[in-house]
Structure 1
Amino acid sequence: MADPSRLERLRGLLAEGGHAAMYVSDLVNLRYLTGFTGSNGAALVPTEGEPLFLTDGRYRDQAAAELDAAGLGDVEIVITRDLIGVAAGRAPADLVAETHLLDVDSWQRLDRPEASGRLVERLREVKDETEVAALRRACEISCEALEALLVGPLVGRTEREVARDLEWRMLELGAEDKAFDTILASGEHTAIPHHSPTDRELRAGDLLKIDFGARFDGYHADCTRTVVLGPAADWQREIHAAVRESQAAGLDRLRPDVPVADANTAARASLEASGWIDAFTTGLGHGVGLQIHEDPFIGSAHPGRLVSRTVLTMEPGIYLPGRGGVRIEDTVLVTDPDHGGEPDVLTDLTKELLEID
């Protein structure tokens, strides 16, 4: 659910930049600011004065109800098929917009606004209590579903069957949907970072990599665990241990005021020390919230520092083509320094190498 304070914070950023108003057309940003969940809408947010909400007749009642639930019942709602036209007629000078989403015609009709500079995305990086609660619940559902799935039996079932089983368990536990298409890979398929489940049957001795999550109240969980079906081979134990150590090193850097790039450096240094850095071919982590991938993205070039109440993933891996791979991933809340600043792992599942019968 949205909160009026989000609009006020956006007004503050607009004022700092000397802008009179912002045209918001990204539906994820619109939901964040107003609570609206429909498929067609926009808002004109002035630095001073009341916002204007725009949608078409299909969402007349829904928009009124969702804005009222968000404490924005006094916001003017205009029902129109020409969102751009109405906004252009009401917009003041010094308008900014999400220009990366506008086609040239729309940009021209709005009188060529400046780019907003991802102002709303900056606000979304730091979660409020409502958002943290939704993320925490999404992660709880995910963990409970996976723990039940791993009771087994799994050998002899197909990747596709097991993936659908896991998704159904999340729905039964209260998820509104899966957070993304489940990545469930077995055997040599585990070397493919984003493998789509197939009809390959799970076999004794396989690595089984499961990257999944539930969505709750619009917020996404993201978690990966890799297990072995039966007793683990030495090489499987070795790469699992290396990934686990790398993830622990990265997690330890997810603290307030630590440079984002430090987490990347720490996790990669661990893999380099164990001799597996060349087998890590994906990104290390990303923000998660109303989108499964959102700012900030963990990388060596990130110029910023971590802020408390940011939620990110930490997901190193080792991928050996034709043989197998391991990834361990958690959704993590950067905590307030007044509470020690310890990373709060929301996907609270064991990271021991499980050997599943």
Structure 2
Amino acid sequence: MSEVHAARRSRLRSRCSPAGSVAALVSRPANVRYLAGSAPSGGSGPCEVPPGAALLVSHAGDDVLFGHWNPARDPAGPQPGEDGGLRAVTLDGDADPAVAAAEWAARDGAEILAVEEHHLTVARHRDVAAAASGMKLADLGCAVEGQRLVKDEEEIAALRVAAEITDRALGELLESILVGRTERHLALELERRLVDHGADGPAFSTSVATGSHSGLAGHRPTDRRVEEGDFLTVRLGARFRGYRCQIGRTFVIGTSPADWQIELYEVVFAAQRAAREALTPGAEYREVDRAARNVLAAAGHSTALGPVTGRGVGLEIGEDPRLSPAAMGRLGPCVPVTVEPGVHLPGRGGVRIDDTLVVRSPADGGPELLTITTKELLAL
């Protein structure tokens, strides 16, 4: 993959080059991971990029990754040499990788240093500016996030594996006895199952919500126990090779759902289906959002949907694009997104249905559904 990451850095360099002798300092962790992948290693395999690392994409093409490597995790550490045009530099003590990158760029003769102002704190930006002696500081903006928007086939393959792991973990949980178990216990079990099936870890904090908690977005599991007649909402995702997916499903505990549960579930399912069907190249972000909101509004739940119907996924949950009422832009092919409408009725509970999909053209079969666990309202 070193060639892939080198090509990504080259695209970023080309974007900066019209402004002159520009070096780009990348500090946002997901962006560093996207451009560097891993560091060249002195051991049998590549080193993981350490937390807090910074990447200097040089105007001259000699890119450098700065960081504090953990000997316990990477005993051999990064090589002093290069891999695919990337050099790794190990820092000592409390040295700030972003400051070290700025000092390197100054010595390297760059005239302008473009930094990710949306990621740096004020204090850190001040330190970088002090280190960038003789250089002008500019804002790199969201240039790397823009590159990350459309995924290549290697990235989509990682997302597929993450989705397969997630589906397996959820499917196994549904075969177990749930009544009497707490939300917290079920969430921990799901995360253990993700790792057992090959995930690097959970993509985000697993949410299990039962009874009056069900349907709440971002609910943190509690010690509430699952009871007969409850709605049970589960939201989870696996992280595989850095890439993350999301699934959300709602079930009924007991022999059969109540009429109000069936009605609410059908409304949310229809909203989710409408949004999924709107995922075509060229569709406006807000049109996808509107497709779901219109269904919910017609059923009397106009205020139920949160700020977004869906969001981009990849190295992060919540990347661009945002499928929201005010979002500007249009979908392109090979853009992975979630579709995640929900309705919560205070004191009663609610329904959420989340999927991860990849935007594809109708000629390619339409949106590719990655999370395939049934959306039928199961009674468990």
- Do the two structures share a fold, i.e. TM-score over 0.5? yes
Q: 2:227 aligns with which of 203, 208, 231?
A: 203
Q: Which residue of 2 aligns with 1:182?
A: 206
Q: Which residue of 1 aligns with 2:127?
A: 106
Q: Is the 8 A contact 1:240 1:326 kept in 2?
A: yes
Q: Which residue of 2 aligns with 1:238?
A: 263
Q: Is the 8 A contact 2:117 2:140 kept in 1?
A: yes
| Distance in 2 of aligned mates of 1:322 and 1:198 | 16
* 1:1-357 superposed matches below 5 A: 3=4, 4-15=6-17, 20-36=22-38, 37-56=49-68, 58=70, 61-64=76-79, 68=83, 72=84, 74-80=85-91, 81=95, 83=97, 84=99, 85-90=103-108, 92-102=110-120, 103-109=124-130, 110=132, 111=135, 113-230=137-254, 231-336=256-361, 338-340=363-365, 342-356=366-380
Q: Is the 8 A contact 1:246 1:268 kept in 2?
A: yes
SS at match of 2:16: helix
| Distance in 1 of aligned mates of 2:77 and 2:146 | 27
| Distance in 2 of aligned mates of 1:213 and 1:26 | 22
How many residue pairs are counted as aligned between the two chains? 351
SS at match of 2:65: strand
1:252-298 deviation line (CA, Å, top 9, x unaligned): 11111111111011111111122212222342111111112211111
Q: Are residues 17 and 301 of structure 1, via their aligned partners in 2, closer, same or farther at CA, if it must alter by over 3 Å?
A: farther
| Distance in 2 of aligned mates of 1:164 and 1:97 | 39
Q: Are residues 16 and 329 of structure 1, via their aligned partners in 2, closer, same or farther at CA, if it must alter by over 3 Å?
A: farther
| Distance in 1 of aligned mates of 2:262 and 2:33 | 44
Q: Is the 8 A contact 2:236 2:248 kept in 1?
A: yes
SS at match of 2:208: strand
| Distance in 2 of aligned mates of 1:221 and 1:66 | 35
| Distance in 2 of aligned mates of 1:147 and 1:184 | 15
| Distance in 1 of aligned mates of 2:285 and 2:80 | 39
Shift of 1:129: 1.4
| Distance in 1 of aligned mates of 2:183 and 2:70 | 40
The residue type equivalent to 1:49 in the other structure is G
Q: Are residues 193 and 23 of structure 1, via their aligned partners in 2, closer, same or farther at CA, if it must alter by over 3 Å?
A: same
| Distance in 2 of aligned mates of 1:19 and 1:270 | 52
Q: Are residues 337 and 24 of structure 1, via their aligned partners in 2, closer, same or farther at CA, if it must alter by over 3 Å?
A: farther
Shift of 1:131: 0.8
Q: Is the 8 A contact 1:184 1:196 kept in 2?
A: yes
| Distance in 2 of aligned mates of 1:64 and 1:30 | 18
Shift of 1:75: 2.7
SS at match of 2:118: helix
The residue type equivalent to 2:54 in the other structure is A
Structure 2: 5+ residue stretches without partners? 39-48
Shift of 1:305: 0.8
Q: Are residues 353 and 66 of structure 1, via their aligned partners in 2, closer, same or farther at CA, if it must alter by over 3 Å?
A: farther
| Distance in 2 of aligned mates of 1:352 and 1:66 | 54
Q: Which of 343-352 and 106-115 deviates more?
A: 106-115
Shift of 1:107: 4.0
Shift of 1:355: 0.8
Q: Which of 77-86 and 230-239 deviates more?
A: 77-86
Q: Is the 8 A contact 2:215 2:352 kept in 1?
A: no
SS at match of 1:355: coil
Shift of 1:183: 0.6
Q: What TM-score, normalized by structure 1, do the two folds share? A: 0.91
Shift of 1:98: 0.4
Q: Is the 8 A contact 1:12 1:47 kept in 2?
A: no
Shift of 1:18: 5.7
The residue type equivalent to 2:15 in the other structure is L
SS at match of 2:214: helix
Q: Is the 8 A contact 1:183 1:212 kept in 2?
A: yes
Q: Is the 8 A contact 1:222 1:313 kept in 2?
A: yes
| Distance in 1 of aligned mates of 2:155 and 2:13 | 20
Shift of 1:112: 5.2
Q: Is the 8 A contact 2:111 2:136 kept in 1?
A: no
| Distance in 2 of aligned mates of 1:194 and 1:40 | 26
Superposed structure 1 runs of 4+ greater than 6 Å apart = none
Larger helix share, 1 or 2: 1
Identity of counterpart residues, as a percentage? 40
Shift of 1:196: 1.2
| Greater relative contact order (Cα < 8 A, sep 6+) | 1
